[in-house]
Amino acid sequence: MRQHVSKFLVAGFLALQTIAVQAQVTLVFAGVASGQGQVAISVWDSAGSYLKRPYLAKRFSVGTVIDGELQVLLQEPLPKFCVVSAYYDKNNNGELDTNWLGVPLEAVGTTNDAQGKFGPPSYAAGLVEITGGAQVLHIPLRYVLGD
């Protein structure tokens, strides 16, 4: 009986992690040149899917950049708790360019300005709560090896 209750509680907790909230989230990206390329984002809803299966993936053409920042609005339902990662596809080729070691050659960023030491940041480091109201998330985009 205890085993069934424990499994039920774990399943309930996991289900709560992926509850979608109607959101109006403004993403603010620093490190983008005006009128060049696109910014690609991925929204991750769990540590298990992180960097494997995004909950949501979108691309935004870079238009006008104001004070060095690009602002885009997400109005899709988003997980209550999630990580947003992004990269600046300056050459507009639709992929994250990397060197022969797999290190990104284009600017990358994650919510909470999370950064990894020898690889991407952890899911926990970038985790944010989506409130369901109007919300602003700042994601600085940086070149791992410098510009």
Residue showing tokens 């899917």: 49
What local confidence, expressed as pLDDT, does residue 12 receive? 46
Q: Which of 16, 13, 17, 24 is nearest to 77 (CA)?
A: 24
- The pairing of strands 38-44 and 81-89 is antiparallel
Question: What's the predicted TM-score (pTM) here?
Answer: 0.85
Domain at 20-140: CATH architecture? Sandwich (2.60)
Q: Beta-carbon neighbour count of residue 70 at 10 Å?
A: 24
Where does the pLDDT of residue 80 fall: very low under 50, low under 70, confident under 90, or very high at 90 and above?
A: very high
Q: What is the DSSP string of 79-139?
A: ESEEEEEEEEETT-SSS--B-TTS-BSS-EEEGGG---SSSSPPHHHH-EE--SSEEEEEE
Q: Do residues 14 and 49 lie in contact, with contact meaning Cβ atoms separated by under 8 Å? A: no
* pLDDT value at 29 more than 60: yes
Where does the pLDDT of residue 18 fall: very low under 50, low under 70, confident under 90, or very high at 90 and above?
A: low
What local confidence, expressed as pLDDT, does residue 7 receive? 42
* pLDDT value at 8 more than 60: no
* pLDDT value at 28 more than 60: yes
Euclidean distance between CA atoms 32 and 130, whole angstroms = 24
